[in-house]
Amino acid sequence: MSDNLDPISQAIRIQTPRTPQGEHSTPLYLTSSFCFDDADAMRAAFAEESDDNIYSRFSNPTVDEFTKKMVMLEGADAGFSTASGMSAVVGSIMALLKNGDHMIVSSSIFGNTNTFVKKYMPNFGITYTMVQAGDESAWEAAVQPNTKMVYLETPTNPQVEVLDLEWIGQFSKKHNLILSVDNCFATPLLQKPIDFGADLVIHSATKWIDGQGRVLGGVVVGRADLIREIYLFCRVTGPTLSAFNAWVLSKSLETLDVRMERHCANALKVAETLESHPQVASVRYPFLPSHPQYAIAKKQMKAGGGVFCFEIKGGVEAGRKFLNALQMLSVTANLGDTRSICSHPASTTHSKLTDDERAAVGITPGLIRVSTGLEKVEDIIADILQALEKSL
Ligand X SMILES: *Cc1c(COP(=O)(O)O)cnc(C)c1O
Give 231's Cβ-side CA count (13 Å radius).
20
The single residue among 11, 71, 72, 86 that binds ligand X, judged by CB under 6 A, is: 86
| Residue 178 lies near ligand X (rule: CB under 6 A) | no
| Residue 369 lies near ligand X (rule: CB under 6 A) | no
| Residue 199 lies near ligand X (rule: CB under 6 A) | no
The single residue among 157, 180, 240, 340 that binds ligand X, judged by CB under 6 A, is: 157
Stretch that binds ligand X, among 58-66, 179-187, 256-264, 350-358 (CB under 6 A): 179-187
204 or 364: CB nearest ligand X:
204
The single residue among 97, 184, 246, 270 that binds ligand X, judged by CB under 6 A, is: 184
Contact 380, 267 (CB under 8 A): no
Residue nearest to ligand X (CB): 85
What's the min distance (Å) between Cβ of 156 and ligand X? 8
The single residue among 64, 65, 74, 182 that binds ligand X, judged by CB under 6 A, is: 182
The single residue among 95, 190, 201, 216 that binds ligand X, judged by CB under 6 A, is: 216
The single residue among 58, 66, 80, 110 that binds ligand X, judged by CB under 6 A, is: 110
For β-strands 102-106 and 147-153, DSSP reports them as: parallel
| Residue 242 lies near ligand X (rule: CB under 6 A) | no
Stretch that binds ligand X, among 53-61, 84-92, 237-245, 316-324 (CB under 6 A): 84-92
Selection from 282, 69, 287 nearest residue 188 by Cα? 69
Selection from 302, 227, 248, 335 nearest residue 7 by Cα? 302
| Residue 204 lies near ligand X (rule: CB under 6 A) | yes
The CA–CA distances, whole Å, from 89 to 36, 159, 180, 206, 228 equal 34, 21, 9, 13, 15
Contact 238, 84 (CB under 8 A): no
Q: How far apart, in whole angstroms, are the C-alpha atoms of residue 216 and residue 249?
A: 9
79 or 218: CB nearest ligand X:
218
- Strands of 307-379 (E only): list them: 307-312, 330-331, 341-343, 367-371
| Residue 85 lies near ligand X (rule: CB under 6 A) | yes
What's the min distance (Å) between Cβ of 153 and ligand X? 5
How would you classify residue 176: left for phi > 0, otherwise alpha for psi between -120 and 50, otherwise beta? left
Interacting residues with ligand X between 279 and 318 (CB under 6 A): none
140-148 LR contacts (CB < 8 Å, sep 24+): 140/171, 142/104, 143/104, 143/175, 143/177, 144/102, 146/100, 146/101, 146/102, 147/101, 147/102, 147/103, 147/104, 147/175, 147/177, 148/96, 148/97, 148/101, 148/102, 148/103, 148/177, 148/178
- How many residues of this chain bind ligand X (CB under 6 A)? 14
The single residue among 218, 222, 286, 319 that binds ligand X, judged by CB under 6 A, is: 218
Q: How far apart, in whole angstroms, are the C-alpha atoms of residue 17 and residue 106?
A: 42
| Residue 60 lies near ligand X (rule: CB under 6 A) | no
| Residue 211 lies near ligand X (rule: CB under 6 A) | no
What's the min distance (Å) between Cβ of 218 and ligand X? 5
Contact 384, 341 (CB under 8 A): no
| Residue 206 lies near ligand X (rule: CB under 6 A) | yes
For β-strands 218-222 and 78-82, DSSP reports them as: antiparallel
| Residue 193 lies near ligand X (rule: CB under 6 A) | no
The single residue among 84, 191, 266, 293 that binds ligand X, judged by CB under 6 A, is: 84
| Residue 341 lies near ligand X (rule: CB under 6 A) | no
Contact 283, 274 (CB under 8 A): yes
Cross-strand bridge partners of residue 308? 370
Stretch that binds ligand X, among 135-143, 188-196, 203-211, 315-323 (CB under 6 A): 203-211
What is the contact surface with ligand X in residues (CB under 6 A)?
84-86, 110, 153, 157, 182, 184-185, 204, 206-207, 216, 218
